[in-house]
Chain A
Amino acid sequence: MPKKQVKRSFKHTKSYKALVSGLWQDHPTFCMVLGICSMLAITNKMDNALAMGLGVTFCTAFSSLFVAIFRNAIPARVRMLAYMVIISTFVICVDRFLKAYFPAISETMGPYVGLIITNCILMGRAEAYAIKNGPWLSFLDGVGCGLGYTFMLILMALIREPLGFGTILGKPLMPAFWVNWVVMTIAPGAFFLLGAYLWIFRTIAKKTE
C-alpha cells in the first residue's frame, strides 16, 4: 500500500523534476544552444549519433554525481579545474570503451569523442546544478540533460542519414531511384537543419529572442 502511494506521487517529487526538466523546459540545445559542435559534426550517421548521445549521457550523469559528492570540498577559485578533471576521467572511459568494443564507430568519430570534455553541457550542468544540489538529484539531472541531448542527436540523424546516404543505421531505406543529397552529410546541411529545427521549436514554445 505505501509503495503504491510513493509511485503515484513520484511525478511531483524533486527527482522527477530534475529528470524531466532537461528533456523539455531546459532542453540543452533548444533553449540554451549548448553543445552543438559535436552534435552538428557527427549526426550524419545514426550509429554515431547514438554512440555520442549515450556517451554524453554517461559522462554528464557521472560527472554531475561526482561534482555533487565533492561539492563541499571543492574551493570556489579552482572549481573549473576540478570539473575538468572529473569530466575528463569519464570521457577517457568512454573513449577507451568505444575503442575496445566499437572500433569502427570510434574511427569515424575520431577527435569528437575527446571533445566531449569541452561540450558545454557537462560544464554547464556541473556549474548550474551539481555544485548546489545533492548527489542523487544531480545524477538524475545529468541523465535528463543527456537524454534530451541524445533525443536531439537522433532527430538530426533521422533526417541526415536517409537524405545523405539513403540508409538508416547502415540499412538501405530509400528507393532505387534515390539520389543522395551530399550536402546533408557535410557541414552546410547540418547548419541548415539545426537552423530549421530551432525555428520550429522556438515558434512552438514561443521562446524567442
Chain B
Amino acid sequence: MSTANPFLLLLASIFTQNIALVYILGMCPFIVISKNFKTAAGMGVSVIFVVTLTALINWPIYYKILLPLKIEILSFMIFIIVIAATVQLLEMLIEKFFPPLQASFGIFLPLITVNCIVLAVCIFMVLKQYNFIQTVFYSLGTSAGWALAILLMAAIKEKLLLVGDIPKGLRGAGITMIIAGFMAFAFMGFAGMIPLQ
C-alpha cells in the first residue's frame, strides 16, 4: 500500500503530475473541445464528476471482488464496462430527473467513456496501490488537473482567435499542440514544489 498523504496527493495530481500536460492523456477532447471556454467548462465539470465516481466504484470492485477471486487479469475489461455502464446510467438519470442539466452536460457524457483519463485513473490507482481515501483524493485531483488544463487551453485559444494570424497548416490541432507544449513547460515549474513521487 502507498503511504502518501492524501492532501499532498491531491495537490500533486493537479500540479506536478498533471495528467494532461505531464502524462499526456485525454488529448482527443483536449484538442476538439477547447475551442470555446463555456463548452470546455462543461466538459471539465462532467469529467471531474465521472472520473471520481467511477474510481470510487472500481476500487471496491478490484479489491473486494477481482483480487479475492484471482481474476485481476480481467481488470481492464471490468473497469471499462463499469465506466461505460456508469456513464450510460448517468445519462439516463439526468435525462429523466434533471432536464435543465441535459442541455449543458448531457452532450458530453457519451464522449467521456472514450476519454482515456477515466480508465487511466483506475489503472494508476491499481498500479500505485492507493487505499480508498487516497483514491478519493487522487481521482478528484487528477480530474481537476485535467479540467484546469482544458480551461487554460480554451482561454488561450479564444484570445488567439482574436489575433488570428496563424499559418494555414497550423490551424486547429497544430497550434493546440504548440500551445500545449508551452503549457507543459510552465507546469514543469511546479516540479519540486510537492515532495511526492
In the assembled complex, A70 has its CB within 8 A of some CB on chain B: no
B159-193 contacts to A, CB under 8 A, are 167-178, 180-182, 184-185, 188
Which stretch in B56-64, B100-108, B112-120, B133-141 binds the other chain?
B112-120
* Residues on B with beta carbons closer than 8 Å to the beta carbon of A188: 181-182, 184-185, 188
Query: In the complex, are the beta carbons of B167 and A118 less than 8 A apart?
Result: no
* Residues on B with beta carbons closer than 8 Å to the beta carbon of A208: 168-169, 171-172
Query: 1/0 per residue A106-117: CB within 8 Å of B?
Result: 000011001101
In the assembled complex, A159 has its CB within 8 A of some CB on chain B: no
In the assembled complex, A173 has its CB within 8 A of some CB on chain B: no
* Residues on B with beta carbons closer than 8 Å to the beta carbon of A118: 80, 114-116, 118-120
Tell me the complex Cα distance, A37–B24, Å. Answer: 6
* Residues on A with beta carbons closer than 8 Å to the beta carbon of B169: 198-203, 208
Tell me the complex Cα distance, A208–B177, Å. Answer: 15
Of the four ranges (under 10, 10 to 19, 20 to 34, 35 or more), the interface on chain A belongs to 35 or more
* Residues on A with beta carbons closer than 8 Å to the beta carbon of B168: 202-203, 208
In the assembled complex, A98 has its CB within 8 A of some CB on chain B: no
Q: Chain B's nearest CB lies how many Å from the CB of A93? A: 10
* Residues on B with beta carbons closer than 8 Å to the beta carbon of A84: 77, 80-81, 84, 113
Query: 1/0 per residue A16-41: CB within 8 Å of B?
Result: 00000000000000000111111011
Which stretch in A5-13, A138-146, A189-197 binds the other chain?
A189-197
Interface positions of A (Cβ within 8 A of B): 33-38, 40-41, 80-81, 84-85, 88-89, 91-92, 95-96, 110-111, 114-115, 117-120, 123, 186-192, 194-195, 198-203, 208-209
Interface positions of B (Cβ within 8 A of A): 21-28, 31-32, 73-74, 76-77, 80-81, 84-85, 88, 110, 113-116, 118-120, 123-124, 127, 167-178, 180-182, 184-185, 188
Q: Per a CB cutoff under 8 Å, which of B77, B81, B172, B180 touches A209?
A: B172
Query: In the complex, are the beta carbons of B178 and A191 less than 8 A apart?
Result: yes
Answer whether A41 and B25 are a contact pair too, CB < 8 Å, given A118-B119, A208-B169. Answer: yes
Residue on B with the closest CB to A89?
B77
Query: In the complex, are the beta carbons of B77 and A92 less than 8 A apart?
Result: yes
Answer whether A37 and B25 are a contact pair too, CB < 8 Å, given A110-B127, A200-B169, A208-B171. Answer: yes
Query: In the complex, are the beta carbons of B77 and A111 less than 8 A apart?
Result: no
Query: In the complex, are the beta carbons of B174 and A199 less than 8 A apart?
Result: yes
Tell me the complex Cα distance, A188–B185, Å. Answer: 6
Q: Per a CB cutoff under 8 Å, which of B23, B28, B167 touches A36?
A: B28
* Residues on B with beta carbons closer than 8 Å to the beta carbon of A201: 169
Tell me the complex Cα distance, A209–B164, Å. Answer: 13
* Residues on A with beta carbons closer than 8 Å to the beta carbon of B24: 37, 40-41, 187, 190-191
